[in-house]
Structure 1
Amino acid sequence: MRDLLKSHLVTVQNQLWEISDSLYHHPELGDQEYESSKRLIKFLEEHNFVVEKGIVGRPTAFKAVYDSKKDGPTIAYLSEYDALPEVGHGCGHNLIGTMSVGAGVTLSKVVNEIGGRVVVLGTPAEETNGAKVPMAEQGIFDDIDAAMILHPADESYESGDSLAMDAIQFDFRGRTSHAAASPEMGINALDAVIQLFNGINALRQHVTSDVRIHGIIKDGGVAANIIPDKAVAQFYVRAKDRTYLNEVVHKVINIAKGASSMTGAEVHIENYELSYDNMVTNHTLSQLFTANLLSTGVKQVKKAKDSYGSIDMGNVSHVVPAIHPYIGLDSPGLIAHTREFANITITDNTHQILSKGALALALTGYELITNNETLEKMKGEFRQTVLS
């Protein structure tokens, strides 16, 4: 069956390479990936997937299903296709999206025989306001047994952890006045933002080493001789798990309230992007995928490295067994979110890597469908590590 799956992948791999390159040449930002999603949907529909578009209220999101009409588990591959401002596909989402649809189509060619369902989810805006969050909240994964996504990197790594994250905006409002002639009549909103930064800097000594707090001033006034009546700061607050992150965020909010009391500026606090949960890798699923990736000719898969970023796949991992491993582009030291990263995604060598990644995903789905012992072990681990 391994050879059969490989032959099915080879049949479509030229199309996959063309799709990935097309996404590279026409990058689209999060929730604006209209042409990218159309291209991926067209490929899936050509291979008899039934596609529901615009799910969870996101116009460029989709759910594509191939149902064997036979009993068996449901395997989901998650497709990302948003690009970055200025650098385009500097995180390789053109590869991610294409590997997932390639894996889905490849596995669909055998499920009529072995049973089960194949789902490909189009998940926009991972870089900013990830659609996987409302998908996890609104039950999209309720009938799915395993969810997988494969991310490009400099080298190959096992699926690991990520930080939970809240994106918080602090909007301070004061009162304008002439900064020299009548400063006593003003309420300086910028002073409140500066006190917020000072308080957060003092907090850093009293949180665990995994915590990351970083922010900017979005609005700080219009002229030096006018006391600013409006100042806005935006922060990302991250920690290794959601429970501790909530504690840290509570402290940060109290600092903002203190800054408000100190200056007299009123503060409005809200999340300006969706919150991401920490990634909980299912190690049974991860070990299965790693073995399959090595079987495709990838020479080495390193242990998961420490991650201080945040991904919306974390939210998925709290509702279904999930993995988020990395496939190497044979470029040790390659830095993500750069034009150099984007440019390497369209080389002949990377095309071959794309095929290996799609095949490894398909092989893993096949083994979950046909090996009930492994399937139940994966589910048991999920119940113990996430649901208990």
Structure 2
Amino acid sequence: MSTTLLSHFEDFKEHMYEISQYIGKNPELGNEEFKACEILTKTLKEYGFQVKANIVDQPTAFEAVYDSGKPGPRIAFMSEYDALPEIGHACGHNLIGTMGMAAGIALSKEVSRTGGAVYVYGTPAEETRGAKVTMAEQGIFDHLDAAIMCHPSSNYRESGSSLAMDAIEFAFTGKTAHAAAAPEEGINALDAVIQTFNGINALRQHVTPDVRIHGVIPEGGKAANVVPDYAVAHFYVRASTRDSVNQVVEKVKNCAKGAALATGAQLSISNYEYSYDNMITNNALSDAFTESLLELGVDKKEIKEKVGGGSLDMGNVSHKVPSIHPYIKISETPIIGHTREFRDASLSRSGFEGMYTGAKAMALTGLRILTDESLLEDIKLECKA
């Protein structure tokens, strides 16, 4: 049956290449991916999927389903397609968007005999306000038996953990004054921001090694001879679990509150992006994906363990349904995400070929779930443990 499944990929391979190139050469920022959303949903409809657009009140989010009408597992593939400012698809989301769709289309051609249903989710703005967060909160994934996505890289890596993350804004309001003639009349909002940074830097020696806190000052005043009456700091606070992030965030907020008290500035605290939960990999599902890679001829020695570091909105999905987020090799030379070199690899033919291996492995993993009751049971039991 796997041979039949893989043969489907050859039927539409060049079409998928054209789509990945179109998305890659028309980069769109998060929640602005109208061209990418249109071509993906149009293609899925052409292959028999029922598509709901504008889900969770996000115009570039969608749900596509191919239901066999027979009982069976419900398998979902995730598609991302947002780009980065200035450097375009330097995280390879043109490949991720196409990969999830290709896997879904291929597997849909098998469910008439296996039973079950195949879903493809269009999930905008992973780099900023990830739609998977809202989807998870609203129960979009609750009915699924497995959620699968794959990310481009310069190595094959197993699905692993990711860091939970909060994006915190500290906005300080002070009082303007002439910085030389009457500084005593002013309340310096920028000083409050700087004191916040100093407080957080002192905090670093009292947190666990998994914690990451990093920030910038998007607003800090306009002229050196005017006491700034408004200043803003943006911080990402990350840790290995949601509970740890929550604890550290309270300490970080206290640093800002102390800075406000010390300077006399008024403080406003908010989240400027969605909060991401840590990724919980389902190991039974991950092992099935690795077996699929091996079936496709990937050398086991090339598949490395995942080392955590960043944050993913797929983490929020993994708290709702058995999930994996492995990495697929698209380059023979080392490349780092969010660089022009990564963008170029994502637009190359060899990058596409690597992506297509990932799509095949995703579909094969889905087929294993559809046809192996014991695997599905292992996946479910792990979630209950």
* Common topology (TM > 0.5): yes
Q: How far off its partner does 1:332 sit?
A: 4.0
> SS of 2:13's equivalent?
helix
- Verify the 8 A CA contact 1:190 1:220 in the aligned structure 2: yes
- Verify the 8 A CA contact 1:81 1:124 in the aligned structure 2: yes
Report the AA paired with residue 308 of structure 2.
S
> SS of 2:77's equivalent?
strand
Report the AA paired with residue 116 of structure 2.
G
Closer, same or farther in 2 for the Cα pair 1:280/1:332, shift >3 Å? farther
Unaligned runs of 5+ residues in structure 1 are none
> SS of 1:244's equivalent?
helix
Q: How far off its partner does 1:346 sit?
A: 2.9
Tell me the equivalent position of 1:376: 377
RMSD: 1.0
Tell me the equivalent position of 1:364: 365
Q: How far off its partner does 1:13 sit?
A: 1.1
**CA deviation map 1:23-74 (0-9, x unaligned):** 1111111110000011111110001100000111111000000000000010
Matches within 5 A, 1:150-299: 150-299=150-299
Write the distance in 1 (CA, Å) between the matches of 2:230 and 2:340.
36
Tell me the equivalent position of 1:344: 345
Report the AA paired with residue 369 of structure 1.
L
> SS of 1:334's equivalent?
coil
- Verify the 8 A CA contact 1:132 1:315 in the aligned structure 2: yes
Write the distance in 2 (CA, Å) between the matches of 1:269 and 1:242.
19
- Verify the 8 A CA contact 1:24 1:94 in the aligned structure 2: yes
Report the AA paired with residue 122 of structure 1.
G
> SS of 1:65's equivalent?
strand
Tell me the equivalent position of 2:49: 49
> SS of 1:345's equivalent?
helix
Tell me the equivalent position of 2:314: 313
Q: How far off its partner does 1:196 sit?
A: 0.1
Matches within 5 A, 1:17-32: 17-32=17-32
Report the AA paired with residue 323 of structure 2.
A
Tell me the equivalent position of 1:74: 74
Bigger shift: residues 221-230 or 47-56 = 221-230
Write the distance in 2 (CA, Å) between the matches of 1:351 and 1:306.
24
Report the AA paired with residue 125 of structure 1.
A
Write the distance in 1 (CA, Å) between the matches of 2:240 and 2:318.
14
**CA deviation map 1:331-358 (0-9, x unaligned):** 2421111111111223332232222211
Write the distance in 2 (CA, Å) between the matches of 1:131 and 1:288.
27
Report the AA paired with residue 304 of structure 1.
E
> SS of 1:118's equivalent?
strand
TM-score (norm 2): 0.98
Report the AA paired with residue 269 of structure 2.
I
- Verify the 8 A CA contact 2:166 2:237 in the aligned structure 1: yes
- Verify the 8 A CA contact 1:92 1:341 in the aligned structure 2: yes
Bigger shift: residues 287-296 or 267-276 = 287-296
Tell me the equivalent position of 2:132: 132
Within the alignment, does 1:95 sit opposite 2:68 as a pair?
no
Report the AA paired with residue 347 of structure 2.
I
Q: How far off its partner does 1:293 sit?
A: 1.3
- Verify the 8 A CA contact 2:330 2:355 in the aligned structure 1: no
Q: How far off its partner does 1:178 sit?
A: 1.2
**CA deviation map 1:249-282 (0-9, x unaligned):** 0000011111111010010000000000000100
- Verify the 8 A CA contact 1:155 1:332 in the aligned structure 2: no
Unaligned runs of 5+ residues in structure 2 are none
What fraction of aligned residue pairs are identical, expressed as a percent? 57
Bigger shift: residues 239-248 or 323-332 = 323-332
Q: Deviation above 4 Å: which 4+ runs of structure 1? A: none
Closer, same or farther in 2 for the Cα pair 1:188/1:359, shift >3 Å? same
For these two proteins, the number of residue pairs brought into alignment is: 384
Report the AA paired with residue 368 of structure 2.
E
Report the AA paired with residue 324 of structure 2.
I
- Verify the 8 A CA contact 1:37 1:60 in the aligned structure 2: yes
- Verify the 8 A CA contact 2:330 2:352 in the aligned structure 1: no
Report the AA paired with residue 125 of structure 2.
A
Bigger shift: residues 188-197 or 331-340 = 331-340
Write the distance in 2 (CA, Å) between the matches of 1:86 and 1:183.
40
Tell me the equivalent position of 1:112: 112
Write the distance in 1 (CA, Å) between the matches of 2:380 and 2:2.
24
Closer, same or farther in 2 for the Cα pair 1:281/1:268, shift >3 Å? same
Report the AA paired with residue 144 of structure 1.
L
